[in-house]
Structure 1
Amino acid sequence: MAELVVLYKTPKDAAAFDKHYAETHIPLAKKLPGLKKYAVSTGAVGSPAGPSGVHLVAILSFDSEAGKAAAGDVPKFASGGADLLIFDTKEV
């Protein structure tokens, strides 16, 4: 299984980010071929040291690697930047 983890950093306008993410990006990402699961963080994203600077975490699971259309939308609303991590997983 392939996983895509996106760490969205704190945007300049959190309300605008949240609106675009909910109304545009989620519906776009849900059309990705092979998408099996799509989860997002709720509330503050912290770290053991305190605030993380991350506004939202998204975790998408696929049968195989995908996501170019959704990744292309990220610069349109993620004014704080985002780190996209793609990797395969195995049950342990």
Structure 2
Amino acid sequence: MYRLTASYAHSDDPAALVAHYRDVHAKLGAKLPNVRSFSWGVCETPDGSKPAHALVAVLDWDTKEAALAALDSPAGKEAVADLQNFAQAGVDLEFQEVRKEV
């Protein structure tokens, strides 16, 4: 499995970041070709302190080639272009070859 993790920086307007992600960006992510799993959540910490990121999304494909093809597709290009509409504080995109231990 090949994974994309998107970690979003804290915005000046956290409610607007979450609303845009929920109402617009997540719907774009769900349209990516051959995505096997897509989940996201607002970050919290056990002690209530400010977490390193505001929101994290995780998307899985069968292979690296499938992930890269999805991002290069019209749906992928639309999702990437949408980042400018809500992620002005920044987003870290990281890929991983997933290895399950359990």
TM-score normalised by structure 2 residue count: 0.74
Structure 1 gaps of 5+ residues are: none
Cα deviations by residue, 1:9-47 (Å, 9 ceiling, x for unpaired): 101111111111111101111000011111112451x49
Task: Report the equivalent of 2:60.
Answer: 61
Aligned equivalents of 1:31 and 1:43: distance in 2?
24
- When you count helix as a share of all residues, which structure comes out higher? 2
Point out 4+ residue stretches in structure 1 off by more than 6 angstroms. Answer: none
Task: Report the equivalent of 1:83.
Answer: 92
Which secondary structure state, in structure 2, belongs to the residue aligned with residue 11 of structure 1?
Answer: coil
Q: What is the identity percentage for the equivalent residue pairs of Structure 1 and Structure 2?
A: 29
Task: Report the equivalent of 1:23.
Answer: 23
Structure 2 gaps of 5+ residues are: none
**2:17–2:86: 8 Å Cα contact kept in structure 1?**
yes
Deviates more, 1:62-71 or 1:21-30: 62-71
Which letter does structure 2 place at the counterpart of 1:74? L
Provide the alpha-carbon RMSD of the alignment.
Answer: 2.1
TM-score normalised by structure 1 residue count: 0.81
Larger Rg over CA atoms: 2
Label 1:9 to 1:3 Cα distance change in 2 as closer, same or farther (>3 A).
same
